[in-house]
Amino acid sequence: MTIPPPLALAAIHASHSGVWLRAGSEAKGWTTRGLSKGEAIVAAADTPLLLLNAPLVASRLGYPDLSGLDLLELFAFIHPARFVVPTPKGLAHALGLPEPGADDAVPGFLTAAAGALLAHCTAPDWPEREGAWTALQSLIKLRWAWAPLLNQHITKPERGERWLFSRLPEWDEANERPQPLQVTLPAEAIRHRLAELTGIGFEGPGGLGAAESRPGQQAYAEAAAHIFAPRRAERAPHILLAEAGTGTGKTLGYLAPAALWAEESGGTVWVSTFTKALQRQLRRESRRAWGDTLAGARAKVVVRKGRENYICLLNLEDALQGGFGGRAAIMAQLVARWAAYTADGDMIGGDLPGWLGTLFRARGITALTDRRGECVYAGCPHYRKCFIERSARASADADLVIANHALVMVNAARGKDNAPRPTRIIFDEGHHVFEAADSTFAAALTGAEAIELRRWVMGPEKGARGRRRGLAARLADISSYDEAGAIAIAAALTAAEALPSDGWLQRVGEGEPSGPIEALLGAVRATVYARDESGGQEAGYGLETEAAGMEGEFVEAATEAEAALAVLRQPLLRLGARLEAVLADPPDWLDGQGRARIEGACRALGWRTELIAAWESLLARMGGPADPQFVDWLAVDRAEAREYDMGIHRRWLDPMKPFAETVLAPAHGVMLTSATLRDRGGGAQSGDDWDAAMARSGAGHIDVAPRLAAFPSPFDYGTQAEVLIVTDVAKGDIAGLAGAYARLIEASGGGALGLFTAIKRLRAVYGRIADRLARTGLPLYAQHIDPIDTGTLVDIFRDEPRASLLGTDALRDGVDVPGHSLRLVIMEQVPWPKPSILHRARRMANPTGGQAYDDRIIRARLAQGFGRLIRSAEDRGHFVVLSAAFPSRLLSAFPQDAPVIRCTLDEALQRVAASVLPSQTQTADSPPHEADR
């Protein structure tokens, strides 16, 4: 392969260990030198420099206004919808170039990568050529930095080329599936299917079926078949709680009976996950059972997400036609390039690079999705190409739908879109079902929610850009046809004036609210500031107080707000009834598309009136006694002491109650599975291991006794892992904490995942150690600090064995990095739950006591954190908790055979370092330290 010439431009690279600039000219030659941050900023201001990931370079230089020729933008244009880890190494792999060995080689590499990328544009086999010239013409007008260079390499097509909207295929309406046949799956058939699945893709001497044998996987697959048996009584689904230790092979374990049942019954199985990482894995593994979908054929496996994940083509068109300005308009063009090549239009966790949005430092990505429920359905010119509609239809006809917990619950609760409700559901990562139900069935009357409702009813306020339209415009044809409908719309528009409008936050902050809802928010704010004793005021955190013992003035404000909401709800209800009437007795002009649009409007009206009714009931109780089923509180949301929202919140004390009614009762079979389903509390206080898991399944609310099954991990934790409890880092000693992190990361040579319970401490530690580590060739990345989305941070961490990553909750459970890249997990302290009002209420309601409740949460967090460490039989590693007083009763969180050692930091460093250098390995022979059990 001939390597194209590098691009003759200056290039810059910055890391925590320094800054390097490659500069020169054709005549004098090119040289790379290290320079100070100040010099680098001057150089970048003088001339546009080649760089990789401008926001990251800007943050390393401490110069937020940095701009230049970013290779990631070029990559997104030339290879839309292609995966690349956004680092020099990742780019080298994606382009088939040699990796730059060290930091000072990176600027030279960037010039080579730019040359290679531009050369693709002249290659006859550039797969993403179609549409590029047309997009480039728009980007030239927008003065995109790369446009002049690309213009020299992309020739005008001889014939007009198909561009975004004309390239996208249309979906077809599918017939409704008949109800599934009632079948019973023989154990023998399940074993055979499992053998087939585990055989595919594995290289073994016997070929198919000669896969690695996993003890327990077969028994697990047979147990999973329970949920596919014919149901015996209404409202009595088969429920299985199956705990399967890491390494059991649970994905293929449940896909085997699921595939068999789908094949024999003609029904659809839903598998629901909590994290995107597992969703990606399921997508891969489901190919073993169903293969790849051939072009034009029915999709047997469909990934289904909430509408807010997908690109809305109408929003995109609007952005392309002037709805977005400046840099955001350039981003819209790059998104349009992606939209023409994406597999499924999923912008959040799909094939749109997670880093694209952060390159433009704007919230443009979310503005391109259909977050606000303004879809006009068949009234949309792109309806037949819409990704959301395509995925909804495909899932109605699929064998397997891969979804997430929230979507399964919302679908069950609202019965929306075109897919029939799921009846056979496998909740993988089942330990998260409780928290997903908690947020799905919550109600919150806040300023941000209320202004959204206003915009949905009234449309954008004056001066706002974009195509967004209010109810009147969306239903213009109905209002001209149906007088009662027109009157209802007019009444709703008048009533919506009571909702907060632009600038509400400032008005409320200044004590000058406008309208009854803003007045209520003002009362919320005043009450919260008057009562809060959390200490969050000085720290800049969010504030909250119980909704109890409210003063007369507050109750008055709540009553007025409730009345205003009731005035709004009435015309919306009347409008819904009018739309139903139009559908029941349709006029001649109402075609299929018009009908679909009105059905969509009915659904949207339905759940908005439910939302308003929930707000009214929340307000109605402000002056009276609390409903023991709910926990209500007032909150002011703040980030770094700046307020961004406020309002009244309501959660179910036990969210599994509505979950049981909406998801379990109508289902035929439901499985909750996870590596950490049971609590291993032991002792008389916490009772049977399964008690908490059963309570958190919701089965008790519909009087079903779930079947229970547990499958131990096949890993040998005794030799693969060590838990080190470091006892000499004092709590609150940030310098000591940072020093411990740095030394542990140095001892392991990187490959560390650092988990924090507070962002503030994460920032403090990162700020103290990032430069020091970088100087020894150990890059450090951090959630909440690096301008990179979490998914991309994990991709970078996986790709660089010497890198380490610091983060909070999302990393404790959503990181699947098998192998050498993750060999050390460090927890800064015992992960206590945040003492919020909601937490206190649930703690008090716990039948086995408050401490048992807290302990169960902590043990679950420790088990999840530990679960990141050993992902395969070859993995080795240490799990370190920096806690001088780690309670022994929490140690049962770890696998029984994992050695637990309380030691000083120095001893911990020795043990970590010893496992890095095999010659020094001493775990097998070293004398046992104080063991806690």
Ramachandran sector of residue 555 (left: φ over 0; alpha: ψ -120 to 50; beta: rest): alpha
Based on CB atoms, which residue is closest to ligand SF4, 389 or 532? 389
The CA-atom distances, in angstroms, between 578 and each of 453, 455, 641, 645, 790 are: 21, 22, 47, 35, 46
Tokens of 250: 């649970």
Please provide the DSSP assignment of 614-662 as one string. HHHHHHHTTTSPPPTTEEEEEEEEEETTEEEEEEEEEEESSTHHHHIII
Based on CB atoms, which residue is closest to ligand SF4, 301 or 380? 380
Based on CB atoms, which residue is closest to ligand SF4, 307 or 902? 307
In the complex, the smallest distance separating the C-beta of residue 503 from ligand SF4, rounded to whole angstroms, is 28
Cα–Cα dist 620/612, whole Å: 12
Tokens of 362: 């704007």
Based on CB atoms, which residue is closest to ligand SF4, 370 or 429? 370
In the complex, the smallest distance separating the C-beta of residue 384 from ligand SF4, rounded to whole angstroms, is 9
In the complex, the smallest distance separating the C-beta of residue 127 from ligand SF4, rounded to whole angstroms, is 25
Tokens of 125: 């086999």
Based on CB atoms, which residue is closest to ligand SF4, 374 or 544? 374
In the complex, the smallest distance separating the C-beta of residue 377 from ligand SF4, rounded to whole angstroms, is 6
In the complex, the smallest distance separating the C-beta of residue 312 from ligand SF4, rounded to whole angstroms, is 3
* Alpha helices (H) along 96-186: 106-122, 132-141, 147-151, 164-167
Within 10 angstroms of residue 500's Cβ, the number of other Cβ atoms is: 26
In the complex, the smallest distance separating the C-beta of residue 369 from ligand SF4, rounded to whole angstroms, is 9
Our CA dihedral for 880, 884, 889, 893, rounded to 10 degrees, sits at: -10
In the complex, the smallest distance separating the C-beta of residue 344 from ligand SF4, rounded to whole angstroms, is 13
Based on CB atoms, which residue is closest to ligand SF4, 376 or 442? 376
Based on CB atoms, which residue is closest to ligand SF4, 372 or 531? 372
Q: Say if CB 426 and CB 272 are below 8 A apart.
A: yes
In the complex, the smallest distance separating the C-beta of residue 437 from ligand SF4, rounded to whole angstroms, is 27
Based on CB atoms, which residue is closest to ligand SF4, 118 or 388? 388
Ramachandran sector of residue 18 (left: φ over 0; alpha: ψ -120 to 50; beta: rest): left
Q: Is 646 exposed, middle or buried (0-12, 13-18, 19+ CB in 10 A)?
A: buried
In the complex, the smallest distance separating the C-beta of residue 81 from ligand SF4, rounded to whole angstroms, is 18
In the complex, the smallest distance separating the C-beta of residue 382 from ligand SF4, rounded to whole angstroms, is 4
Based on CB atoms, which residue is closest to ligand SF4, 242 or 380? 380
In the complex, the smallest distance separating the C-beta of residue 307 from ligand SF4, rounded to whole angstroms, is 7
Please provide the DSSP assignment of 807-832 as one string. E-HHHHHS----STT--EEEESS--P
Residue/partner pairs of 87-94 with CB below 8 Å, 24 or more apart:
87/52, 87/796, 87/799, 87/800, 88/13, 88/52, 89/799, 89/800, 90/795, 90/796, 90/799, 91/52
Cα–Cα dist 253/255, whole Å: 6
In the complex, the smallest distance separating the C-beta of residue 170 from ligand SF4, rounded to whole angstroms, is 12
The DSSP symbol for 295 reads T
Residue/partner pairs of 621-630 with CB below 8 Å, 24 or more apart:
621/547, 622/547, 622/550, 622/554, 622/555, 622/558, 622/559, 622/648, 623/550, 623/555, 623/558, 623/559, 626/547, 626/548, 628/653, 629/653, 629/654, 629/657
Based on CB atoms, which residue is closest to ligand SF4, 237 or 364? 364
Tell me, what amino acid is at 309?
N
Q: Say if CB 901 and CB 931 are below 8 A apart.
A: yes
Q: How far is CA 113 from the centre of its chain?
A: 31
Could you list the residues that contact ligand SF4 (CB under 6 A)? 312-314, 370, 375-377, 380, 382-383, 386, 388-389
* Largest Cα span, the chain: 88
φ, ψ (nearest 5 deg) of residue 25: -155, 170
Please provide the DSSP assignment of 324-390 as one string. S-HHHHHHHHHHHHHHHH-SS-B-SSSSS-HHHHHHTTSSHHHHTB-TT----GGGSTTGGG-HHHH
Based on CB atoms, which residue is closest to ligand SF4, 314 or 636? 314
Based on CB atoms, which residue is closest to ligand SF4, 48 or 606? 606
In 3D, which of 345, 398, 373 has the Cα closest to residue 177?
398
Based on CB atoms, which residue is closest to ligand SF4, 277 or 313? 313
In the complex, the smallest distance separating the C-beta of residue 149 from ligand SF4, rounded to whole angstroms, is 33
In the complex, the smallest distance separating the C-beta of residue 468 from ligand SF4, rounded to whole angstroms, is 11
Based on CB atoms, which residue is closest to ligand SF4, 383 or 853? 383
In the complex, the smallest distance separating the C-beta of residue 460 from ligand SF4, rounded to whole angstroms, is 15
Q: Is residue 694 within a helix (H) or strand (E), and if so which, with residue range?
A: helix 690-695
Based on CB atoms, which residue is closest to ligand SF4, 364 or 831? 364
Question: 226 Cβ partners below 8 Å, 6+ apart?
Answer: 238, 240, 669, 671, 707
Q: Which residues of 282-320 are buried (b: 16+ CB within 10 A; e: fewer)?
A: beebbebbbeeeeeeeebbbbbbbbbebbbbbbbbbbbb
In the complex, the smallest distance separating the C-beta of residue 408 from ligand SF4, rounded to whole angstroms, is 21
Based on CB atoms, which residue is closest to ligand SF4, 474 or 569? 474
Based on CB atoms, which residue is closest to ligand SF4, 282 or 380? 380
In the complex, the smallest distance separating the C-beta of residue 411 from ligand SF4, rounded to whole angstroms, is 17
In the complex, the smallest distance separating the C-beta of residue 606 from ligand SF4, rounded to whole angstroms, is 17
Q: Say if CB 657 and CB 227 are below 8 A apart.
A: no
Q: Say if CB 55 and CB 787 are below 8 A apart.
A: yes
Q: Say if CB 824 and CB 876 are below 8 A apart.
A: no
Q: Is residue 755 within a helix (H) or strand (E), and if so which, with residue range?
A: strand 752-755
SS3 category, 543: strand
Based on CB atoms, which residue is closest to ligand SF4, 361 or 371? 371
